[in-house]
């Protein structure tokens, strides 16, 4: 039965694998291999608490398998145990993999938005490391996400000068240009990436994402249609097209496009979220709720679905339905637990607390939102309100200044990274 569970895990059939492993452990609670595998399966299926419990119970086995160390570190991050996660990844760097382990650990830390740990691990990689290009590129990613855009650009330019130009490097360089208000250079760089490798759809997706962000809808739509034709089996190309249709309020077209995307990849999170938004925009609120409820059932622990359903309920029930408010708060609290790095959940919880007069609680959530998304104008504005209610006038004034600084480019929910910039691929 353990071999069956292992095969099911390899086939990504996590629910069945988990069921088999629980049967094994019920018969033999001391089966260490079953505990190890259940821990890794649980991490993949989003049950991070079980992953931590199982993997912590077999530390010797975990240390011998880098994949298990990665699973434990990711689960630590997801359960808010950031220090334990960093320690696990440091063990990779100090283990038999050495520099390769440090690079792997840095990549995981970067994926989990722990850029301090990622930078520390990268600094331990010797200059003569055989995969130095990958290490330098990852350092550029870290610099980008810590808003050191010029430093990121310098690393990327040096890689290009050394003959390492590729679509991945050009895409990140394009986003560096965008973040430093050089959108002409950004578009030129993205187009260069498309020309360099027209078979890599990520080049199209990033260019389309930037055109959409700039509200250049005609150019974005032309590129999206080109992408769909060039990559007919790509769910992501259809998601790009759907997002443009959604932004231009062509809800029926967007609904059809997102449905096509999900027929290609039923697990595509952006496709599911887009479909629900298109349904809501088309006046099909019941369908949108069912779409998101089904996603939450199929993918337990996926915070974006929980937040999206909470936002839908907030919008639909502004008349103060107490049952709906309770469900909304329950969803937001679940999302905050499942993904502590999700600013939207913290912001909405803070807003709800402000409305109820729970100022101290509101401040906690809104400080989290600002920490996670420091350029969110609405988070700074809400935090200023909280501080003012608490009599903290000086801090309120500082937040108001930050609100004024960031309000021009702020949009609700705009807390994520560009489409294909690691770690949020």
Q: What is the pLDDT of residue 253?
A: 98
pLDDT of 378 higher than 70 = yes
Mean pLDDT, rounded, for 32-55: 93
3-state secondary structure the chain: CHHHHHHHHHCCCHHHHHHHHHHHHHHCCCCHHHHHHHHHHHHHCCCHHHHHHHHHCCHHHHHCCHHHHHHHHHHHHHCCCHHHHHHHHHHHHHCCCCHHHHHHHHHHHHHCCCHHHHHHHHHCCCCCCCCHHHHHHHHHHHHHHCCCHHHHHHHHHHHHHCCCCCHHHHHHHHHHHHHCCCHHHHHHHHHHHHHHCCCCHHHHHHHHHHHHHCCCHHHHHHHHHHHHHHCCCCHHHHHHHHHHHHHCCCHHHHHHHHHHHHHHCCCCHHHHHHHHHHHHHCCCHHHHHHHHHHHHHHCCCCHHHHHHHHHHHHHHCCCCCHHHHHHHHHHHHHHHHHCCCCHHHHHHHHHHHHHCCCHHHHHHHHHHHHHHCCCCHHHHHHHHHHHHHCCCHHHHHHHHHHHHHHHHHCCCCCCCCCCCCCCCC
Q: Which two tokens stand for residue 275?
A: 């479909």
The mean of the pLDDT values for the chain is 91
Instruction: List pLDDT tens digits, range 232-252.
Output: 999 999 999 999 999 999 999
Instruction: List pLDDT tens digits, range 273-306.
Output: 999 999 999 999 999 999 999 999 999 889 999 9
Question: 1: pLDDT confidence band, cut at 50, 70 and 90?
Answer: low
Q: What is the pLDDT of residue 254?
A: 98
pLDDT of 47 higher than 70 = yes
Instruction: List pLDDT tens digits, range 188-202.
Output: 999 999 999 999 999
Question: 420: pLDDT confidence band, cut at 50, 70 and 90?
Answer: low
Look at residues 318, 256, 161, 388 and name the one whose alpha carbon lies nearest to residue 366. 388
Instruction: List pLDDT tens digits, range 60-118.
Output: 999 999 999 999 999 999 888 999 999 999 999 888 888 999 999 999 999 998 999 99
Helix/strand/coil for 81: coil
Q: What is the pLDDT of residue 361?
A: 98
Q: What is the pLDDT of residue 414?
A: 38
Q: What is the pLDDT of residue 9?
A: 66
Q: What is the rounded end-to-end Cα distance, in angstroms, of the chain?
A: 35
Q: What is the pLDDT of residue 13?
A: 81
Q: Which one is predicted more confidently, 341 or 36?
A: 36
C-alpha 52/C-alpha 35 separation (Å) is 11
pLDDT of 425 higher than 50 = no
Q: What is the pLDDT of residue 319?
A: 55
Fold of 337-425: 1.25.40
Q: What is the pLDDT of residue 83?
A: 96
Question: 41: pLDDT confidence band, cut at 50, 70 and 90?
Answer: very high
Look at residues 56, 133, 121, 60 and name the one whose alpha carbon lies nearest to residue 92. 121
> Which CATH superfamily, name and number, covers 131-197?
Tetratricopeptide repeat domain (1.25.40.10)
Question: 424: pLDDT confidence band, cut at 50, 70 and 90?
Answer: very low
Residue 6 Cα to chain centre, angstroms: 28
pLDDT of 419 higher than 60 = no
Question: 15: pLDDT confidence band, cut at 50, 70 and 90?
Answer: confident
Mean pLDDT, rounded, for 374-393: 96
pLDDT of 421 higher than 60 = no
C-alpha 121/C-alpha 97 separation (Å) is 13
| Least confident interval from 2-16, 96-110, 148-162 | 2-16
Q: What is the pLDDT of residue 19?
A: 84
Whole-model pTM: value is: 0.78
Q: What is the pLDDT of residue 291?
A: 98
Q: What is the pLDDT of residue 409?
A: 58
Q: Which residue ranges make up each domain of the chain?
A: 1-129, 131-197, 337-425
Q: What is the pLDDT of residue 222?
A: 96
Residue pair 33/289 in contact by the 8 Å Cβ criterion: no
C-alpha 164/C-alpha 333 separation (Å) is 45
pLDDT of 335 higher than 90 = yes
Question: 227: pLDDT confidence band, cut at 50, 70 and 90?
Answer: very high
Question: 2: pLDDT confidence band, cut at 50, 70 and 90?
Answer: low
What is the architecture of the domain spanning 1-129? Alpha Horseshoe (1.25)
Q: Which one is predicted more confidently, 7 or 45?
A: 45
C-alpha 240/C-alpha 245 separation (Å) is 9
């Amino acid at each position: 039965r353990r071999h069956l569970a292992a095969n099911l895990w390899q086939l990504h059939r996590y629910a069945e694998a988990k069921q088999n492993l629980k049967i094994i452990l019920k018969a033999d609670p001391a089966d260490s291999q079953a505990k190890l595998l259940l821990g890794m399966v649980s991490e993949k299926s989003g049950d991070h608490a079980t992953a931590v419990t199982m993997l912590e119970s077999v530390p010797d086995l975990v240390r011998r398998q880098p994949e298990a160390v990665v699973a434990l570190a990711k689960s630590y991050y997801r359960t808010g145990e950031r220090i334990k996660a960093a320690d696990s990844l440091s063990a990779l760097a100090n283990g038999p993999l050495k520099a390769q382990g440090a690079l792997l650990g840095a990549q995981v830390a970067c994926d989990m938005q722990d850029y301090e740990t990622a930078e520390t691990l990268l600094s331990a990689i010797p200059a003569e490391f055989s995969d130095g290009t990958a290490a330098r590129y990852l350092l550029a990613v870290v610099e980008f996400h810590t808003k050191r855009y010029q430093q990121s650009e310098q690393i990327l330019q040096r890689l290009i000068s050394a003959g390492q130009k590729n679509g991945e490097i050009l895409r990140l360089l394009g986003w560096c240009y965008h973040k430093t208000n050089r959108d002409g250079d950004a578009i030129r760089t993205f187009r260069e990436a498309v020309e360099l490798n027209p078979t890599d759809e990520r080049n199209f997706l990033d260019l389309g994402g930037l055109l959409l962000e700039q509200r250049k809808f005609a150019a974005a739509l032309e590129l999206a249609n080109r992408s769909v034709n060039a990559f007919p089996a790509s769910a992501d190309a259809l998601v790009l097209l759907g997002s443009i249709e959604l932004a231009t309020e062509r809800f029926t077209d967007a609904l059809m496009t997102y449905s096509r995307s999900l027929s290609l990849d039923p697990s595509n999170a952006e496709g599911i979220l887009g479909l629900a938004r298109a349904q809501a925009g088309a006046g099909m609120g019941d369908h949108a709720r069912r779409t998101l409820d089904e996603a939450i059932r199929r993918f337990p622990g996926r915070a974006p679905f929980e937040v999206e359903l909470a936002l839908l309920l907030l919008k639909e029930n502004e008349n103060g339905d107490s049952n709906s408010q309770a469900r909304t708060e329950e969803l937001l609290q679940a999302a905050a637990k499942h993904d502590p790095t999700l600013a939207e959940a913290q912001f909405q919880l803070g807003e709800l607390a402000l409305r109820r007069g729970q100022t101290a609680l509101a401040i906690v959530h809104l400080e989290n939102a600002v920490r996670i998304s420091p350029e969110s104008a609405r988070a700074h504005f809400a935090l200023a309100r909280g501080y003012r209610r608490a009599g903290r006038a000086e801090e309120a004034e500082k937040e108001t200044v930050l609100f004024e600084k960031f309000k021009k480019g702020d949009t609700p929910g705009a807390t994520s990274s560009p489409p294909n910039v690691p770690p949020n691929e």
